[in-house]
Amino acid sequence: MNDPPGSDEDFMAQALAEAARGLGRTSPNPPVGCVLVQPNGSGGEVVGRGFHPRAGEPHAEVFALREAGERARGATAYVTLEPCSHFGRTPPCADALMAAGVARVVVAAGDPNPQVNGRGLERLRAAGIAVQTGVLEAQAVRQQAGFRARMLLGRPFVIYKYAMTLDGKVAALEEGGGSEANGAVTGPEARARVMGWRNEADAIAVGVDTLLTDDPQLTTRGVVGGRDPRPVIFDRQGRTPPTARALRPGAVVVTAPGAEAPALADAGAVLLPAATLEEALRGLHDLGVSTLLLEGGPTLASAFAESDLIDEVRAFIAPKLLGAGLSPLAGPLRRMNAAGMLDMYALEQLGADILVSASVRRVAAEPTPSPRTGGA
Amino acid sequence: MNDPPGSDEDFMAQALAEAARGLGRTSPNPPVGCVLVQPNGSGGEVVGRGFHPRAGEPHAEVFALREAGERARGATAYVTLEPCSHFGRTPPCADALMAAGVARVVVAAGDPNPQVNGRGLERLRAAGIAVQTGVLEAQAVRQQAGFRARMLLGRPFVIYKYAMTLDGKVAALEEGGGSEANGAVTGPEARARVMGWRNEADAIAVGVDTLLTDDPQLTTRGVVGGRDPRPVIFDRQGRTPPTARALRPGAVVVTAPGAEAPALADAGAVLLPAATLEEALRGLHDLGVSTLLLEGGPTLASAFAESDLIDEVRAFIAPKLLGAGLSPLAGPLRRMNAAGMLDMYALEQLGADILVSASVRRVAAEPTPSPRTGGA
């Protein structure tokens, strides 16, 4: 994954790294990064960088242009998402790039927002700016998955994270006391990675059984500058104890319609009644959640799988054989040739453990990638 | 794993490749390879190669010395196992190396055979030959695992091979008609790898339920020069149909003591009555089986795991989510912090699938590696 220095891919990778600084902070907006490069003998010199820090603040392009100043003239702008063409809370970024005299714009992925959706690129081309798209598009689409699910599906993007033994078990049978009493599945490197994901997710979901067993904090620990995702507890009957550690202000408790849980409301929880998981996800969408990290347990994850609501899996596999135990999914019931297909996009070794990252292959979850267009 | 050309490791890797040609054919002897190298400016020139083709035929060193002829004088011999020092069916190889004027002997792993166990090396050193051990020892020990289990444990080395989805399922629930009717878990690259393992294993074990469901052939297909492993069917009550495709001459049916299965004996099967798995493995040992490839199903594998009789796992993981299904192991019942620990020695991508190869960490299964000794 090391792109040659000075290549379009190299600069776009830098723009993606900029964008990543906003992950978990920009919803309902997408995370976006921008790098401005003045061509020189050895490929180019970065003259400005920026990322979108949160909704209501300026877009990535604006920060990069501010840093570049006069040196934006004649530069190439690498932007992870098609520059906007409409007046939202800020003026259109396409116009700002044009006004600054940028000569070329390289874009990773098109903006599925119906208010943009190609119009930003058209506007740039009409102004005589060379436009190229599709550079590191797959990475950008994954980074923007929450925003894209918001635009295209009207619900959060759901990532199921689990850690299992090599014989496919996430926990022993009938263990009380949670992972601290009974031993974690994976090692410290895996745990650190999970903390990074929590820092980047809008919200983190667990079932009430996990809450009652483990009383997890669901916080981000050990990440410099990290912040906590919003806890979401799926708890049809309102059994969550008001003293649960995850019940910090803003925590959401998803209950069955009509379930009474005044003590939870008093404890600062947002009660979200929902008859189905789809309805719950629409409610989370309305609360501004674009990415949902589903951490368990298997009962909740199986319900998501039954409703085909898992978009990505991140599976740690520990070099252990447990024997009897709980599986990461207990449903739906289907035949092997009807199993849900995944596209693995990363296979890593983290300490002694393996991490498999894979997207759920689903028709119409994403628009077909925009064709590579234009170019200098 | 690419060793520098001309290094000790490079030549030992060639000797291991020679030895591999005998895998599945040498029992009760070990697979052994030998490469003779005349030193020259660029590291050395291979002047002889050999491997042990089967019990009763000459050892690897003899073939290599025959090929080298006079050019063995002053050469370095790379041997994957300590040369023997005793008269068996053939004269001692240590003596043959000395007689040929070999100047240096590099050995991968010591011979645990109590008749050898360091005496071969002593004999060489006493003759003034430089001896070095421990070169690619871990690979050699894995390659000789069957022989070592025979010597140290008095039973075959058991490799549990399975293919599961990323949610840990080897099969759907209540599927009739086997993998052909319901879709295989993994792709063609994984299947080809399994065929290579069958070619190298002495025997292949399945439970009678797998036999009744799938009627597998348990043969080696698509391997040039391949041969079939001996089928071993674990079938306490003798339910195997005499028409089962796996019942070729030499096939073993392990039954409960006292089970009557005259039709199976008539069909050419070897009946092996055994009260426990340990007893069954001792019986297979006596039949000359040193490596046993355990292919399923989960019920049989769980019984092996309950008795702590799995030595290695080779787990394919397919990028799929099944949901409800059968797990590779359903027992024993224990807590996560008592899970059996594995040492992963290879992580590969095969087509769309992942292959994890791992040794079961077990006290006293292997002697501690012999210290690196001597040297030129």
Question: Which domains does chain B possess?
Answer: 8-142 (3.40.140.10), 155-360 (3.40.430.10)
Chain A: residue whose CA lies nearest to B174: A335
pLDDT > 50? residue B321: yes
What confidence tens digit (pLDDT) does each residue in B119-169 have?
A: 999 999 999 999 999 999 999 999 999 999 999 999 999 999 999 999 999
What's the pLDDT score for residue A365?
45
Q: Would you say residue B371 has pLDDT above 80?
A: no
- The confidence score (pLDDT) of residue A260 equals 86
Write down the mean pLDDT value for chain B: 92
For the cut 90, the answer to whether the pLDDT of residue B116 exceeds it is: no
B112 CA to centre of own chain: 16
Quick: pLDDT tens for A47-67. 999 999 999 999 999 999 999
- Beta strands B340-350 and A320-321: pairing type? antiparallel
ipTM here: 0.92
Which of the residues A61, A137, A200, A312 is marked catalytic?
A61
Per-residue confidence band for A376, with pLDDT thresholds at 50, 70 and 90: very low
Query: Of residues A364 and B232, which shows the higher confidence score?
Result: B232
pLDDT at B42: 77
Q: Could you give the percent of chain B with pLDDT greater than 90?
A: 83
Q: CB-based contacts of A340: which residues, under 8 Å, 6+ apart?
A: A305, A308, A360, A361, B320, B321, B322, B323
Query: Closest to B305 (Cβ–Cβ): which among A172, A323, A354?
Result: A323
Distance from CA of A209 to the nearest CA of B (A): 18
pLDDT at B98 > cutoff 50: yes
B57 to chain A, any CB pair closer than 8 A? The answer is no
Nearest CA in chain A to B320: A341
pLDDT per residue as tens digits for the range A28-50: 999 999 999 999 877 899 999 99
**B163 interface with A at CB cutoff 8 Å:** no
pLDDT digits (tens, 9 = 90+) for B244-254: 999 999 999 99
Say yes or no to pLDDT of A370 above 60.
no
Q: What share of chain A is helix, strand, coil (3-state, %, to 5)?
A: 30, 25, 45
pLDDT level of residue A2 (50, 70, 90 thresholds): low
B4 in helix, strand or coil? coil
- Residue A374, pLDDT score: 36
Residue B329 annotated in ligand binding: no
- pLDDT above 90: percentage of residues in chain A: 83
CB within 8 Å of A151: residues ≥ 6 apart: A112, A113, A114
A340 touches chain B (CB under 8 A): yes
DSSP 8-state code for residue B164: E
Half-sphere exposure of A169 (CA within 13 A, CB side): 28
For residue B39, pLDDT over 80 is answered with yes
On whether the CB atoms of residues A228 and A219 are closer than 8 A, the answer is yes
| Chain B stretch 278-337, residues whose beta carbon is closer than 8 A to a beta carbon of chain A | 302, 305-306, 310, 313, 315, 317, 319-325, 327-337
Tell me what pLDDT residue A294 has.
98
Section A125-132 average pLDDT: 96
Tell me what the mean pLDDT of segment A198-219 comes to.
95
H or E stretch covering B51: strand B45-51
Q: What is the pLDDT of residue A140?
A: 98
A168: left (phi over 0), alpha (psi -120 to 50) or beta: left
Mutate to test the interface with B, among A160, A185, A336 (most CBs of B within 10 A): A336
Cα–chain-centroid distance for residue A60?
Answer: 18
- Given a cut of 90, whether residue A296 has pLDDT beyond it is no
For chain B, percent of residues with pLDDT exceeding 70: 93
Return residues 175-234 of B near A (CB < 8 Å).
175, 179, 182-185
Higher pLDDT, residue A15 or B114: A15
Min Cα–Cα distance to chain A from B258, Å? 31
Q: Give the lowest-confidence range in A2-11, B92-101, B177-186.
A: B177-186
Report the pLDDT averaged over residues A184-211.
Answer: 96
Report pTM: 0.92
Closest C-alpha among A253, A196, A206 to residue A227: A196
pLDDT of residue B47: 97
The residue of A335, A341, A345, A347 whose CB has the most chain B CBs within 10 angstroms, and thus the best one to mutate to test that interface, is A335
Q: Name the residue of chain B whose CA is nearest to A343's CA.
A: B319
CB contact under 8 A, B342 and A320: yes
